[in-house]
Structure 1
Amino acid sequence: MNEQRTVGIKEVPRFDRWLILSIQHLFAMFGATILVPTIVEISPAVALVSSGLGTLAYLIVTRGQIPAYLGSSFAFINPMIAAITIGGIEGMLVGSFVAGLVYGVVALVIKAGGVRWLMNLLPPIVVGPVIMVIGLGLAPVALEMAMYLPETIGTPEPIWDGTLFTIALLTLLITVVGAIFFRGFFGLIPILIGIVGGYIISLFFGMIDTSPIRDAAWFAVPEFYIPFVTFTPSFSWAIIAIMVPVAVVTLSEHIGDQMVLSKVVGKNFVEKPGLHRSIFGDGVATIISSFLGGPPNTTYGENIGVVAITRVFSVFVIGGAAVIAIAFGFIGKVSAIIQTIPSAVMGGVSILLFGIIASSGLRMLIDNKINIGEKRNLIISSVILVLGIGGGVIHITDEIEIPGMALAAIVGIILNLVIPGRPHIKKSEEMFQSLNVKMDKEKQ
């Protein structure tokens, strides 16, 4: 195996290589970032702009020390759909803003009291099953898009369509083939390859009206939702109760991403610049998105994979991808193409993508050597999975409720704290040393 040259965190590559490497990161996050707003029916162009601006803000907050890209969060899909049903996009954005503030509060507490309490609150036996709930809880969304006519989804009797399901399955097949057999650059973008392949198949089936693409201008301002400019924010406890508890879920995702990225780069980002800075940066990115009309943001495992494989740690490359994403958001032709992608195509790639999310939760349990045979671990994981996937909910009032995913995380935390036999939590230095990420495998 040939040794790859490592590009340092503060190193600026030659311009032509810089551009190619940034585009590679853009492609790695593109499919997932536009999938979230497409599912919840908000503007993908706004999501691209907000992810780019959020990533730049994150790099500034972390003092240019963490090479991470931020994109649309999958954990917020169902809460966003519920919030939009209650208060429209405007109400959802207020909930997203408050969720971003929660990140800021957590960051301040970590700054004052250290990180150990958070690791104690969110150990792998809680985080792993919660991540599984994120993926498996979204499974019905993927299959609805794959099988039913879009205009009938959400009705008492959605209409099954064989053509759409065929397109979804062929899209899934292309995505799986790309993930398994493609290497190098193309091996990094199987989701995007699947979307492109499904789009071409849909053209052959006559399922796409290309006139919006022809009519779209090359330059177009995205459909931003800006508080006190395009709408007046209104506070809703019901939406807050739906959106804010999900921050517990995304915080656990964030911790996992930071620990993996630390091992990949060979620097303990949990210690320096500190978990408080990275969490605060995540919160700032989500707040920026809420001021524009985009979905909440989170660090992306897809881009961590790119960093691991290429050994290019430069934050300038990440920043370049963010700038290109912002530019794409203002290209009308790109927005029009995204909006003409059939829901069946998105459903096809979602079957794999949501399954991968669930499997990553299982992998966390395996990597941390969690023994499910122990009654304590069996009880915690079982309760989290059934509450989250089954759709458990607590109705506080007629309008305020705690939905399944957040309820599962909260109950999991409580069970972990009260059931005897809780293991000793390692110091962050020990956790950093014990991360089960093998870079030799990643480079292959």
Structure 2
Amino acid sequence: MNNKPILDINEVPKPAQWITLSIQHLFAMFGATILVPYLVGLDPAIALISSGLGTLAFLIITKFQVPAYLGSSFAFISPVIAAKAAGGPGAAMLGTFLAGLVYGIVALIISKAGYRWIMNLLPPVVVGPIIVVIGLSVAQTAVGMAMNNPSGKYSMLHFSVALVTLAATIIFSIFAKKILSIIPILAGIVVGYIYALIVGIVDFEPVLKAHWFEMPNFIFPFISYKVNFTWNIFWLMVPVAVVTLSEHIGHQLILSKVVGRDYIKEPGLHRSILGDGTATLISALVGGPPKTTYGENIGVLAITRVYSVYVLAGAAVFAIFFGFIGKITALIHTIPTPVMGGVSILLFGIIASSGLRMLVDSKIDFEDKRNLVISSVILIIGLGGAILKLPFKDIQIQGMALAAIFGVVLNLILPGRQLAGDDMFETKTTDNNKKTA
């Protein structure tokens, strides 16, 4: 891989170049970041603001050494919806806050005990099937959004909008070159939106009525809602963090290869995990969805070879600024549901497929009954909607959270477990061809 930088980590771009490159990163994360709040019923403006604030916090905590952007996490879609159903938006924010605390605890343990234990706890045979569950658990939601009109009845017109959006997103994903290949979601949404305009299902009235500057609908603890801890919320949200932690480690390994540094060692996995957790905590305090590092923005780094953290910081500032522009927020709200449904069909399928890819890339042998048992149990419990009702405090553990717990436990107790070695953390540096662990 040619990773010789055009702009290295701490190089400051010229003003015009800085703006252009930062907006490019903003576009890369935009479609996916606003899709999550759209699906779970949160304000997309706050998702933008919290992603910007979270990214700035991440850059500070990682000592301005890790060029990463943090956007809305897809892993928490089903848990956030369930938490909102159980106790309203406040419950979802409390659960998000608790998940962020888990990151902090894990970061503290890694700083004291090293990082290998977490990969032994979360091997691919556990994480891969859980990622499949993440993608497929919201499949019905995506299809319903694609096929139905606002009253919930089947509409061929609305389904056609979803199909056009889906087709455009697929075309951009496969045939687009350079930067367009990184933003197929945003490009697909734009094409679907234009088609929806043509067939007359877009209402521009909210945009005309909106002010240029508007305060988003922040959700503050103790002000917008009473903080009421329940074990149900804990078990709905916290176990999902085991999946996103594994995703985070994977992104850090990929990013290390792209920019030619060993981020597992310096500034350290504990710092990047703490940064990710802090971003999620910030999001919880203002009413946004949980955060995660974004593969789309890593893709932008790989293509442009512009690794400057100042460019990522610029994208974060733009995201915060856009969140306060009422016209932009209103425009996001005018995107018809089938447009988002069409994008979701592909996106959620890709998430599920990435779980399968993890199993393939890790050479998981399903002739080994141990692997077969772990994967099978995770898939059926996660997709079947299994619920474990504990006989005290009315605690319920369900769906993805229960599947994650079963997967981790089975991996620990079944014989034949293989421990992670140093080779899985090897990356190449730009200064020489020596491998560092």
Query: Which residue in the other structure is 2:398 paired with?
Result: 403
Moved more, 416-425 or 57-66: 416-425
In structure 1, how many angstroms separate the alpha carbons of the residues matched to 2:339 and 2:361?
Answer: 33
Q: How far 1:419 moved relative to its partner?
A: 1.7
Q: How far 1:135 moved relative to its partner?
A: 0.9
Alignment of 1:155-194 (within 5 A): 159-194=153-188
Deviations 1:227-267 (A, max 9, x none): 23333322222222211111112111111111111121121
Query: Which residue in the other structure is 1:431 paired with?
Result: 424
In structure 2, how many angstroms separate the alpha carbons of the residues matched to 1:43 and 1:263?
Answer: 35
Conserved 8 A contact 1:131-1:253: no
Select which of 190, 200, 217 maps to 1:196.
Answer: 190
Query: Which residue in the other structure is 1:336 paired with?
Result: 330
Moved more, 246-255 or 4-13: 4-13
Q: How far 1:432 moved relative to its partner?
A: 2.5
Alignment of 1:243-254 (within 5 A): 243-254=237-248
In structure 2, how many angstroms separate the alpha carbons of the residues matched to 1:8 and 1:369?
Answer: 35
SS class of match (1:298): strand
Following TM superposition, where does structure 1 have runs of at least 4 consecutive aligned residues deviating by more than 4 angstroms? 1-5
Moved more, 368-377 or 187-196: 368-377
Structure 2: gaps spanning 5 or more residues:
429-437
Q: 2:147 is aligned with what amino acid?
A: M
Query: Which residue in the other structure is 1:89 paired with?
Result: 89
Conserved 8 A contact 2:219-2:287: yes
Q: How far 1:3 moved relative to its partner?
A: 8.7
In structure 2, how many angstroms separate the alpha carbons of the residues matched to 1:400 and 1:162?
Answer: 42
Q: 2:184 is aligned with what amino acid?
A: P
Query: Which residue in the other structure is 1:155 paired with?
Result: none
In structure 2, how many angstroms separate the alpha carbons of the residues matched to 1:289 and 1:103?
Answer: 14
In structure 1, how many angstroms separate the alpha carbons of the residues matched to 2:115 and 2:2?
Answer: 38
In structure 2, how many angstroms separate the alpha carbons of the residues matched to 1:339 and 1:218?
Answer: 15
RMSD across aligned positions (CA): 1.7
Q: How far 1:20 moved relative to its partner?
A: 1.2
Identity %: 59
Query: Which residue in the other structure is 1:212 paired with?
Result: 206
SS class of match (1:394): strand
SS class of match (1:376): helix
Conserved 8 A contact 2:260-2:427: no
Deviations 1:24-62 (A, max 9, x none): 111111000000000111100000000000000011111
In structure 1, how many angstroms separate the alpha carbons of the residues matched to 2:66 and 2:204?
Answer: 41
In structure 2, how many angstroms separate the alpha carbons of the residues matched to 1:305 and 1:371?
Answer: 30
SS class of match (2:354): helix
SS class of match (1:208): coil
Select which of 218, 222, 232 maps to 1:238.
Answer: 232
Structure 1 position 279 matched with structure 2 position 273: yes
Conserved 8 A contact 2:3-2:259: no
In structure 2, how many angstroms separate the alpha carbons of the residues matched to 1:432 and 1:117?
Answer: 13
Q: 1:247 is aligned with what amino acid?
A: A
Conserved 8 A contact 1:9-1:314: yes
Cα 1:224–1:3 change in 2 (3 A) is closer
In structure 1, how many angstroms separate the alpha carbons of the residues matched to 2:252 and 2:49?
Answer: 24
Conserved 8 A contact 1:111-1:276: yes
Deviations 1:354-389 (A, max 9, x none): 111111112212222222232222222222122212
Alignment of 1:24-35 (within 5 A): 24-35=24-35
SS class of match (2:201): coil
Structure 1 position 418 matched with structure 2 position 422: no
Query: Which residue in the other structure is 2:435 paired with?
Result: none
Q: How far 1:414 moved relative to its partner?
A: 1.4
SS class of match (2:71): strand
In structure 2, how many angstroms separate the alpha carbons of the residues matched to 1:315 and 1:366?
Answer: 33
Moved more, 169-178 or 130-139: 130-139
Q: How far 1:399 moved relative to its partner?
A: 4.7
Conserved 8 A contact 1:249-1:406: no
Structure 1: gaps spanning 5 or more residues:
153-158, 436-444
In structure 2, how many angstroms separate the alpha carbons of the residues matched to 1:12 and 1:151?
Answer: 51
Query: Which residue in the other structure is 2:122 paired with?
Result: 122
Matched length: 427
In structure 1, how many angstroms separate the alpha carbons of the residues matched to 2:3 and 2:92?
Answer: 48
SS class of match (2:286): coil
Q: 2:61 is aligned with what amino acid?
A: V
Q: How far 1:18 moved relative to its partner?
A: 1.6
Q: 2:406 is aligned with what amino acid?
A: V
In structure 2, how many angstroms separate the alpha carbons of the residues matched to 1:319 and 1:382?
Answer: 42
Select which of 299, 309, 312 maps to 1:315.
Answer: 309
In structure 1, how many angstroms separate the alpha carbons of the residues matched to 2:115 and 2:39?
Answer: 35
In structure 1, how many angstroms separate the alpha carbons of the residues matched to 2:230 and 2:372?
Answer: 37
Query: Which residue in the other structure is 1:438 paired with?
Result: none
Query: Which residue in the other structure is 2:51 paired with?
Result: 51
In structure 1, how many angstroms separate the alpha carbons of the residues matched to 2:386 and 2:219?
Answer: 32
Conserved 8 A contact 1:248-1:406: no
Q: 1:69 is aligned with what amino acid?
A: Y
Q: How far 1:4 moved relative to its partner?
A: 6.5
In structure 2, how many angstroms separate the alpha carbons of the residues matched to 1:45 and 1:424?
Answer: 43
Structure 1 position 74 matched with structure 2 position 97: no
Structure 1 position 353 matched with structure 2 position 337: no
In structure 1, how many angstroms separate the alpha carbons of the residues matched to 2:323 and 2:378?
Answer: 38
In structure 1, how many angstroms separate the alpha carbons of the residues matched to 2:118 and 2:131?
Answer: 17
Deviations 1:64-99 (A, max 9, x none): 111111011111111111111111111211111111
Deviations 1:94-135 (A, max 9, x none): 111111111111111111111111111011111111111111
Deviations 1:139-179 (A, max 9, x none): 11111111123443xxxxxx222111111111100111111
Q: How far 1:274 moved relative to its partner?
A: 1.2
Query: Which residue in the other structure is 1:156 paired with?
Result: none
